[in-house]
Amino acid sequence: MADLAEHIWKALGTYWSSPIPLAILFGTLACIGTLVYVFVTNARNAKLRVSLLTGLYSLSIFFWTFVVSSLTFCLSISTTVAYKAWGVPLAAGGAVLTSFVLSGIVSFVVWRRGAERLLRSIATRTPRAEEQWLVDYFSLVGRFESLPHVELRIADDPKPVAMAVSGKRHVVVVSTGLLASLERDEVESVVTHELMHIKNQDSRFKVFSTVLSRFMFFDPFSKFLDPAVHREREYLADEMSGRTTGKPGSLASALLKIHEKATGSPKAIAGLSIVGREGSVFSRFPPVRERISRLLVLSELLHRTT
Ligand SMILES: [Zn+2]
């Protein structure tokens, strides 16, 4: 027993003082540091920040999977790592390979299946004749944005709910409560916001990120990155909706109305609704006040006459 403990201790010491694992570790940390610096110095560039956060997320997953796999390899082949010349490269190579394979398998399964399960949990129907105006608008934006295969589904729910879900198929769900409480141009802005989530692959990424952050319980970075990714993607979808409709003010007033009615809505599943819990670094939604203020500035810019 004492021998085994000694082997393990020696293996850990040899491994974490060797150039190969240290280079992988510090190389990844240097990339993370660079991305964080660019992120912090570009406060209002939602498109860039979404890409940076996605990169940061991948690096963080790799970093922590590498650390955990390294420890697992060190423990399982401690004698080899401690006493053989090729022990460290073997463990480091194994850890890198395991990190890629594990992240790949988990990502693929969550990417393909996560949203489908979510969609099955919500009762929806096809739009009725009186909702045809929305179907027409929906297919018009879909044609303009080259999104021909997106379905519009209606949920009979008195709460104002709107969400975009992507799995094997792409679906935008709006509730009857949302249709009843908003003006037509507000509904159109909200639907465009949801279509932008599909265009940017946000709905897939949000479910992916939520499930992965639970799976990667040993990755402390993901606890901050997962909600941050959600928040930046909301800002980007808001901005793109405002530019497409030319009426960012309509989305601003829609957000205000939904926010007032939807507080505590149980449908804010996986951060897919248009509004949800906000106000901290762990919130998946940016503050509605900030979203509205950005949309109003965009509105002023778009309607400025010289
Ligand atoms: Zn959204």
- The three-state DSSP-derived secondary structure of the chain is CHHHHHHHHHHHHHHHCCHHHHHHHHHHHHHHHHHHHHHHCCCCCHHHHHHHHHHHHHHHHHHHHHHHHHHHHHHHCHHHHHHCCCHHHHHHHHHHHHHHHHHHHHHHHHHHHHHHHHHHCCCCECCCHHHHHHHHHHHHHHHHCCCCCEEEEEECCCCCCEEEEECCCEEEEEEHHHHHHCCHHHHHHHHHHHHHHHHCCHHHHHHHHHHHHHHCCCCHHHHHHHHHHHHHHHHHHHHHHHHHHCCHHHHHHHHHHHHHHHCCCCCCHHHCECCCCECCCCCCECCHHHHHHHHHHHHHHHCCCC
Contact assessment for residue 150 and residue 129, using Cβ atoms and an 8 Å cutoff? no
155 and 63 in one domain?
no
CA of 55 to the centre of ligand 1 (A): 20
Greater pLDDT, 298 or 266: 298
As a whole number, mean pLDDT of residues 163-181 equals 88
Asked if pLDDT for residue 180 goes beyond 60, the answer is: yes
Backbone angles phi, psi at 125, to 5 degrees: -140, 170
157 and 31 in one domain?
no
264 and 149 in one domain?
yes
Structure tokens at 294: 């950005």
Q: What is the pLDDT of residue 299?
A: 93
Q: Which percentage of the chain shows pLDDT scores above 70?
A: 89
CA of 290 to the centre of ligand 1 (A): 14
115 and 128 in one domain?
no
38-52, 112-126, 198-212: the lowest-pLDDT one: 112-126
CA of 28 to the centre of ligand 1 (A): 31
Q: What is the pLDDT of residue 274?
A: 65
133 and 37 in one domain?
no
Would you say the pTM of this structure is higher than 0.85?
no
Asked if pLDDT for residue 71 goes beyond 60, the answer is: yes
Q: What is the pLDDT of residue 267?
A: 45
127 and 95 in one domain?
no
Q: What is the mean pLDDT of the chain?
A: 85
Burial class of residue 135 in the structure, from the number of CB atoms within 10 Å of its CB (0-12 exposed, 13-18 middle, 19+ buried): middle
CA of 203 to the centre of ligand 1 (A): 9
As a whole number, mean pLDDT of residues 14-25 equals 92
Domain termination site, one of 119, 135, 150: 119
**CB atoms inside a 10 Å sphere around CB 108:** 11
CA of 257 to the centre of ligand 1 (A): 15
Domain termination site, one of 119, 142, 166: 119
CA of 231 to the centre of ligand 1 (A): 9
Greater pLDDT, 209 or 7: 7
As a whole number, mean pLDDT of residues 190-211 equals 85
Contact assessment for residue 256 and residue 292, using Cβ atoms and an 8 Å cutoff? yes
- 182, 281, 160: which is closest to 230 by C-alpha? 281
33-42, 66-75, 260-269, 286-295: the lowest-pLDDT one: 260-269
As a whole number, mean pLDDT of residues 19-41 equals 92
CA distance linking residue 239 with residue 287, whole number of Å: 15
91 and 196 in one domain?
no
Q: What is the pLDDT of residue 50?
A: 81
CA distance linking residue 226 with residue 91, whole number of Å: 30
CA of 236 to the centre of ligand 1 (A): 9
User: How many structural domains does the chain have?
Assistant: 2
Structure tokens at 28: 């990844």
- 229, 260, 248, 262: which is closest to 292 by C-alpha? 248
Asked if pLDDT for residue 103 goes beyond 50, the answer is: yes
As a whole number, mean pLDDT of residues 71-79 equals 88
CA of 273 to the centre of ligand 1 (A): 6
- 262, 251, 158, 264: which is closest to 196 by C-alpha? 251
100-109, 242-251, 266-275: the lowest-pLDDT one: 266-275
220 and 196 in one domain?
yes
As a whole number, mean pLDDT of residues 8-25 equals 91
Q: What is the pLDDT of residue 292?
A: 94
pLDDT digits (tens, 9 = 90+) for 128-154: 999 999 999 999 999 999 887 899 999
Domain termination site, one of 92, 119, 146: 119
Q: What is the pLDDT of residue 111?
A: 65
Asked if pLDDT for residue 186 goes beyond 70, the answer is: yes
Asked if pLDDT for residue 82 goes beyond 90, the answer is: no
Q: What is the pLDDT of residue 61?
A: 82
140 and 93 in one domain?
no
230 and 283 in one domain?
yes
CA distance linking residue 144 with residue 277, whole number of Å: 32
268 and 168 in one domain?
yes
Q: Read off the CATH number of the domain in which 215 is found.
A: 3.30.2010.10
CA of 172 to the centre of ligand 1 (A): 11
pLDDT digits (tens, 9 = 90+) for 152-171: 999 998 888 898 888 778 89
Asked if pLDDT for residue 282 goes beyond 80, the answer is: no
Q: What is the pLDDT of residue 112?
A: 66
Structural domain that includes position 100: 2-119
Asked if pLDDT for residue 26 goes beyond 90, the answer is: yes
273 and 179 in one domain?
yes
Backbone angles phi, psi at 145, to 5 degrees: -90, 10
CA of 148 to the centre of ligand 1 (A): 20
